[in-house]
Amino acid sequence: MKQASAPKGKPRFRLRLEHAAVFFVVAAVLFFGYSVFQASTGGSSSSGGGGGSSSGLTSQHSGGGLHRRTLVRVGAEDGGEGGEGGAHVVAKPCPKAEPVVKTETVTVTKLVYGSTLQNPRAYHVVTTVAGFSNHWQARIHYYWFKKQRDACLREPACDMGGFTRVLHTGKPDDLMDEIPTVVVDPLPDRNTTYIVLNRPYAFMQWMKLVSIPEKYFVMCEADHLFMRPLPNFMNGEAAGAALFTYIVPWNYNDIVRKFIGKDKSDEEVKKVPQIGNSPTFISTEQFKVLAPIWYNTTMEIFDDKEAHDAWNWVLEMYGYAIATYRAGQHVNMRVVPNMLAHPPFDKEEVDPEGRPFYLLHLTYPCRYDKFGNMTDNSTLAVWTFDKREYSVKPPPRNLAMPPEVVHNNLVRLIVGMINEATDALPCWDDYVATSKVNKCAHHTAKTGEKAEEEAAVAGGATKAAAT
């Protein structure tokens, strides 16, 4: 990097002489070329345009630009939308020259770290949300997605690609500038407050509205926090899904048979995987087949009194598991025990076999008594974290850590991760006070720019959404 600095004394003088010599030679050659050019064809063909275009290809590896993704249009006729800094528009070729072939080049400076879009295993994160609990969770979820993806991109191979929040309320909200978002309609024709029933429908609409640059995606929920860079957990082209030990189809053989066929044996019922729809990796190709089946299966379960009563708040998870069987996509599926940690029942960042967990599920209440034992009794509790306490207001900054007697590293991690995010996200105190994303100057300046970059990474998904 330092070799360009000029040496001292005589060598410097010699260098200058050389420069002068080179300058004259170049000038002579140029002049000669120009004369020949003028004399012969009268200017019908020229390399002028081509020469210019190569200098238009700028990759911005240096300095703080590492996280910028710059679109460089080469040979563009007019700089119409090239408003962003760093776009180079090549000078128009002289009128009589052959027009330069129009090419569009995308320079992704993240390639310095390793590729996302060029990695054939790259996946998109698709997180469905509705309601206020999902509102603050999505902000923290997205904060950790970005942080872990940045870490991921510094590794030799990284599967983490773009991100889309699918907001299934039918209306844009105040996070549109902060998080790449697609707005879809809520479930029609069903009068239910059971919000998760909306998920199959939301995913189906998203699939129709948007195409993502990645071949794969992972279905996520806002209460999943990225603990570390998350690899693509698929088994080749077959799906990869988190194990849910509480989804046990073979405890309900007769009910399951209602949906997979009366003639199916108990052995066959056992093939229905112990999974839900999230977190689940799948290819868009497979999902196009699966989504309507998932939707129908979930509706059938919802409308079947026996199944509905049996599975209640996890019925859409059974709906998904059974749908994969119906679609034949359970074959070769990878069911991953360490994809999703469930504190406080999971206590360490690795599972009992020593495999790292990747996502932290903020789902169960974490409530401890003065002995450091878990308790359901709020009178006895000396320390509690329960996301359900934050369904109207977000958690404040600087949540207290559990006391020393609580021996649970994942519960501490929950608090640490939430605190880091609420500290880093602008204007969190105002957010706690009003439950609205406040447009304080700091906020608009920072997140607006970030969201733009992320939207680019998300493959322009936001643009389709915002309208």
Ligand X SMILES: *[C@@H]1O[C@H](CO)[C@@H](O)[C@H](O)[C@H]1NC(C)=O
What is residue 374's DSSP assignment? Answer: B
- Residues 286-315: x/- map of binding to ligand X (CB under 6 A)? ------xx--x-------------------
CB burial class (10 A; 0-12, 13-18, 19+) of residue 126?
buried
Output the smallest distance, CB 334 to ligand X, in A: 24
Of 394, 131, 144, 450, which Cα lies nearest the Cα of 462? 450
Of 245 and 379, the one with the shorter C-beta distance to ligand X is: 379
Residue 230 in tokens: 């998350």
Positive or negative torsion for Cα 44, 47, 52, 54: positive
Of 62 and 379, the one with the shorter C-beta distance to ligand X is: 379
Output the smallest distance, CB 304 to ligand X, in A: 14
Of 218, 198, 206, which Cα lies nearest the Cα of 130? 198
- Residue 371 binds to ligand X (criterion: CB under 6 A): yes
- Residue 380 binds to ligand X (criterion: CB under 6 A): yes
CB 104 within 8 A of CB 385: no
Among 236, 379, 400, 467, binds ligand X (CB under 6 A): 379
**Which of the ranges 3-11, 133-141, 353-361, 371-379 carries the binding residues for ligand X, by CB under 6 A?**
371-379
What is residue 279's DSSP assignment? Answer: T
Output the smallest distance, CB 351 to ligand X, in A: 22
Side-chain half-sphere CA neighbours of 150 within 13 A: 9
Output the smallest distance, CB 399 to ligand X, in A: 24
Q: Which amino acid is at 192?
A: T
Of 109 and 296, the one with the shorter C-beta distance to ligand X is: 296
Output the smallest distance, CB 379 to ligand X, in A: 4
Of 327 and 427, the one with the shorter C-beta distance to ligand X is: 327
- Residue 62 binds to ligand X (criterion: CB under 6 A): no
Residue 26 in tokens: 């170049």
Among 3, 377, 388, 400, binds ligand X (CB under 6 A): 377
Of 3 and 193, the one with the shorter C-beta distance to ligand X is: 193
Count of residues engaged in binding ligand X, rule: CB under 6 A: 9
H and E: helices and strands count for the chain: 13, 14
Sheet with 181-183, side-by-side order of all strands: 181-183, 160-167, 123-129, 216-221, 280-283, 240-242, 334-336
CA distances from 343 to 162, 362, 379, 387, 408 (A): 27, 7, 21, 12, 8
Of 98 and 389, the one with the shorter C-beta distance to ligand X is: 389
Of 191 and 467, the one with the shorter C-beta distance to ligand X is: 191
Give the three-state DSSP class for 27.
Answer: helix
Output the smallest distance, CB 371 to ligand X, in A: 4
**Which of the ranges 138-146, 313-321, 372-380, 436-444 carries the binding residues for ligand X, by CB under 6 A?**
372-380
Output the smallest distance, CB 345 to ligand X, in A: 16
- Residue 191 binds to ligand X (criterion: CB under 6 A): yes
CB 253 within 8 A of CB 325: no
Of 200 and 229, the one with the shorter C-beta distance to ligand X is: 200
**Which of the ranges 103-111, 129-137, 338-346, 377-385 carries the binding residues for ligand X, by CB under 6 A?**
377-385
The strand pair at 160-167 and 123-129 is best described as: parallel
Output the smallest distance, CB 332 to ligand X, in A: 21
What are the respective helix, strand and coil percentages of the chain, to the nearest 5? 40, 15, 45
What is residue 110's DSSP assignment? Answer: G
**Which of the ranges 166-174, 303-311, 352-360, 374-382 carries the binding residues for ligand X, by CB under 6 A?**
374-382
Output the smallest distance, CB 192 to ligand X, in A: 8
Of 71, 100, 102, 101, which Cα lies nearest the Cα of 88? 71
Query: Footprint of ligand X on this chain (CB under 6 A)?
Result: 191, 292-293, 296, 371, 373, 377, 379-380
